[in-house]
Each structure stands twice: as structure tokens, then as C-alpha cells.
Amino acid sequence: MEVLNTFFIAPVLDMADSPIFLLEVIIGGLMAGVMYSLVALGFVLIYKASGVFNYAQGAMVLFAALTLVGLLDNHVPLILAIILTMIVMVGVAFLIERYMLRHLVNQAQIILFMATIGLNFVFEGAGQIAWGSNVKKLDVGIPENSFEVGGVLINSFDLFAAVTAAVLVGVLAIFFQKTSVGRALRAVADDHQAALSVGIPLKTIWIIVWSVSGFVALVAGIMWGGKAGVQFSLVLIALKALPVLILGGFESVPGAIIGGLLIGVFEKVSEVYWGPAFGGAIEGWFAYMAALVFLMFRPQGLFGEKIIERV
């Protein structure tokens, strides 16, 4: 009876007690979710175009953020610094194609995955050699004050992040579904050999997709870095993207967004209302639990492409 009360009745009563607070928790969750989505997006892009789970995505976020901060510290104007960082990320994409992917055409997925683990360490090391390992403050002039809408407190930084993510997703969705480059990307993801035979230049496609993914890493780096400071632990947010991907499906851009939002809300709501029942701090593992349970029912994710296998 007591168990029933702590796990099922008390949390619901708490929610009903103060709807405004519940709404605030949910909005807080959504905002945090947007940040997860940003990281998950980078994964989805590379997965869609090469079938590779890019373990180094978190390190790319750190690397992009470090480069940007490093440039800003050297008194490069903001816009120029962003452009320069983007050029660096394109250069990196070029190097990855030249020295890693080119040699691994037609290899099994697990081999490419292993290669990205190596890449992860290269990014971590290179970023710190170039810019040092201190925690740095990143201020790109996004306002951080809060304001009230109908009694609910909203942080304008979070709002800015949400709008940015929404725009990014809109652009990427059109890019993938409507343009011929997007079609070529999907073709490469589906079958390397067939893509080559219709004359899709694999190398160019890979450079494009890693550049786009580098761009997403830069945006995520600006947002996360602005919120939490640019530091080594940015690499770990990549792990936060995992449950998001499982929920949303590895090859779906909208899935990454919805998945991120869901995980964000789950986390916050469970922490606030069920946290006490578990003795607190369930935010850290709850997302993974949710993803595991979800995996049992829908292995391809919410928006993943249906697994079609003719036998």
C-alpha cells in the first residue's frame, strides 16, 4: 500500500496540486530536450548518409566549440570567428574522407564504427593541444534573462536554442527530402556500390555530409558551450544523444527532434515527481531506462525506416 502511494498516487497528486509548476517543469524539459536534439541531429546526418554510427560526434561538438572560443579569445570578431570555425570543420571533413573513409569503402559497419572511436580520441587530443584544457566561457551575446508568460517562467537563452534548432531541422528536412543532393545522400546510405554505378561520387558526398555534420556540431557547441561553458565534459553529452536516437530512430531528422524533446520532458518530470521516491538523482539514468523499454516494442524507433526484409 505504501509502495503504491509513493510511486503512483503521491506524484500524481503533486502534479495536480500545482499545474503551473508542472507546466514549468515540462517547458524546462522541452528546452533541455532541444539541446539533446541538436547533438542527436549530427548523429542522424552521418548515419543517414553512410550508415555509420559516428561515435566522435560529441568530440566534434567539443572541437568546434574550442575552436570558436579560441578564435574569440584572440579577438577575432564573432561573425568572422564562426565562419573561420566552419571552414575548419569543412577542412576536417575533407581530411576524414581522405585519410579514413576512403580506405574503408564497402567495409562492415562495425569497422567504420571502430574507426570513429579512434577519431573521437584524435578530436579530443587535437582540440586540447590547440586550445588548452581549461574550462572556457563562451559568450556570443545571446540574452540569458528570464521572462514570464502567463505565470510560467521562460529563459530566453533556452527559447533562442529552441528556435535555432527548429530552423535547422526545417532546412535539413528539405535538404534531405526534396533536393537531388539529398537523394544522392540517401542513395549512398542505402548501397555504396549501386550509388557508384549510377555515377554518384562517393567522396564528394562524404565530404558534404561530414561538413554538414560539422556545422551541426558547431551550432550544438555554441548552445551547449554558452550554457555550461566550453569544457571537456561536452564530449559526454554525446552519450545523452543515445537514448534520443533509440527513441527517434537513427535515420530520421524529425525523429531526432521529437526524441530529444520526449527525453528532455521524461527526465525533468521524473526527476521532480518520482525523484524523491527513488531517493533523488534519477535524471542521469532514467532516459536510458526509457530507451531500453522502448526498444523492446519498437526496435526501429518512432520514425525509423521500417525494417523490410524479403526472405
Least CB distance to another protein at residue 99 (A)? 18
Q: Within a 13 Å sphere around the CA of 161, how many CA atoms are in the beta-carbon half?
A: 28
Nearest Cα neighbor of 183 from 41, 43, 49, 46 is: 49
Q: Which of 134, 156, 204, 233 binds another protein (CB under 8 A)?
A: 204
Is 193 a residue that touches another protein (CB under 8 A)?
Answer: yes
Least CB distance to another protein at residue 107 (A)? 15
CA angle, 57 then 64 then 67, to 5° = 150
Least CB distance to another protein at residue 73 (A)? 32
d(CA 249, CA 79): 34
d(CA 183, CA 7): 48
**Inter-residue contact 88 to 67 (CB < 8 Å):** yes
Nearest Cα neighbor of 250 from 33, 29, 54, 30 is: 54
Q: Which of 198, 293, 296, 311 binds another protein (CB under 8 A)?
A: 198
Q: Which of 181, 277, 295, 302 binds another protein (CB under 8 A)?
A: 181
Least CB distance to another protein at residue 9 (A)? 46
Q: Which of 76, 126, 196, 302 binds another protein (CB under 8 A)?
A: 196
140-179: which residues touch another protein (CB under 8 A)? 174-175, 178-179
The cell numbers describing 298, all together, are 519498437
Least CB distance to another protein at residue 114 (A)? 25
206-245: which residues touch another protein (CB under 8 A)? 208
- Closer CB to another protein, 47 or 266, in the complex: 47
d(CA 156, CA 174): 27
d(CA 178, CA 17): 47
Q: Which residues bind another protein (CB under 8 A)?
A: 174-175, 178-184, 186-187, 190-191, 193-202, 204, 208, 305, 308, 310
